[in-house]
Amino acid sequence: MRKGLFSKVSVSPRRPKWENCVQRFEKLYHRGDDIRSPFARDFNRILHCTAYRRLKHKTQVFFAPRNDHICTRMEHVNHVIAVSYTIAKYLGLNTELTNAIAIGHDLGHAPFGHAGETFLKTIVQKELKETFWHEKNSLWFVDKIETLEDPNGYHRNLNLTYAVRDGIICHCGDVDEGQLIPRDDFVDLYDMAEPNQYSPFTWEGCVVKIADKIAYLGRDIEDARTLKILSVSEAKELVKTVRPYTKRRMRELNNTILMHDFVIDVCMNSSPEGGIRLSKRALELMNAVRGFSYDKIYYHKRLNNYRKYANLIIDSIYELLKDLYQKKKTLNEVERQRYLYPTLVDVFSEWLLKYAYPAQRPTHFKNSILYDLRRKRDYYRACIDFISGMTDLFAIKIFHEITTF
């Protein structure tokens, strides 16, 4: 495989998709001495936002706040950045774009990982007659929730480029199709009704999508071993499972080795004609490891109580907030609970002041208003958005506050 084979189809000025890729909702302020590209600016804007900081206390697979060596959502994001950068660099694609997509791709994950996402989906279906999926929530957060101060001290929305936003919402979905080829259509990203509905708009988005799969497989196995989720016999079963597809020994089936092998395979087998792809053998290995992980790790009986615990916490917080609705007087009703729930009221009242109408908004908030408190449905959405942005530790803190007498 010739290095730089994708250089003529990368996202860069004077290429057919460039203008669409760098499109923003509105013009972004510019400093006269700024040396960054549009995508480098997006990377920094995500890096500086609070949703990114919270990833360090969000579950990836295993909830283990007292074990510093278990993968968090932030570590996973950093792995995806590294994997996608390596692939994009070798293929000749825009690494600043892959970096920006990768750092923002999981900002919308709920607390407690996929367990929290599943329960929030139940709430959304019941209350809003919609569905909840973290890719779309990630787009919602970078578009509407997260803000930064501009040079005048006003809080404004991130206002990211289309290519980054597209890569974020299109990052998920299996790669069982064997190849990833970008779509040609410039679509409204909020028209997407389900995960994996569209291919990414750019080759760089396709790289991040496959990098996301590469980044977690070996890491989840390492954590399962550390937490003794995998028994000795199950570890031996893993060796038998992958033996037809790799010559690696059990002690070599760690995250760095698997990532290396998959990255090299993608680089050696991808082409503009055939797409971003793994070889048949590597794809079979990925599917074998993933199938083993679902069977022996993700649905392990030891995680059942964790899922119940996560559901209890989310449900308790939501039901409390839901019952505070009083139309235009909702903010006053929230404030009346301060003597009982000071931390919750302090943070949630600020949330409503920042995003809801009618409220006496501080003048430094110039971001989008998202909720009309005169409508119950809008208030429910505000509660759901608020909870979905929590870290595991903060959700537990609030749960303790509302259950302590």
Q: How many CB atoms lie within 10 A of CB 73?
A: 23
- Spell out, as residue ranges, where the chain has pLDDT lower than 50: none
What pLDDT was estimated at residue 359?
A: 79
Q: Which residue blocks in 170-303 are alpha helix, DSSP H? A: 203-226, 232-242, 255-269, 280-293
Whether the CB-CB separation of 353 and 359 falls below 8 Å is answered with yes
DSSP H or E segment with residue 136: helix 134-140
Q: Please tell me the distance from the alpha carbon of residue 30 to that of residue 276, in angstroms, as a whole number.
A: 35
Residue 180: partners with Cβ closer than 8 Å, 6 or more residues away:
199, 200, 206, 209, 210, 275, 276, 277
Q: Is it true that domain 7-24+36-107+146-299 has CATH number 1.10.3210.10? A: yes
* pLDDT tens, position by position, 170-185: 998 666 657 899 999 9
The β-bridge relationship of strands 147-149 and 371-372 is unpaired
Distances (CA, A) of 235 to 219, 221, 239, 304, 334: 14, 9, 7, 21, 51
116: nearest Cα among 312, 344, 379: 312
Tallying the residues shown for the chain, one arrives at 405
DSSP letters, 313-334, are HHHHHHHHHHTT--GGGHHHHH
**195-217-310 Cα angle (round to 5):** 65
Looking at residue 177, its pLDDT comes to 58
pLDDT of residue 34: 86
At residue 58, the 3 state secondary structure works out as: coil
Residues of the chain with CATH 1.10.3210.10: 7-24+36-107+146-299
For residue 155, the cross-strand partners are 149, 365
CA 244 vs. chain centroid, Å, equals 33
Quote the pLDDT of residue 70: 87
Per-residue pLDDT reduced to its tens digit, 308-323: 999 999 999 999 999 9
**CA 396 to chain CA mean position, Å:** 21
Q: Is the peptide bond before 13 cis (omega within 30 degrees of 0)?
A: no
Q: What is the pLDDT of residue 251?
A: 65
Q: Produce one character per residue of 251-276: b if its CB has 16 or more CB atoms within 10 Å, e if not.
A: eebebeebbebbbebbbebbeeeebb
The answer to whether 210 touches 216, Cβ cutoff 8 Å, is no
Question: What's the predicted TM-score (pTM) here?
Answer: 0.95
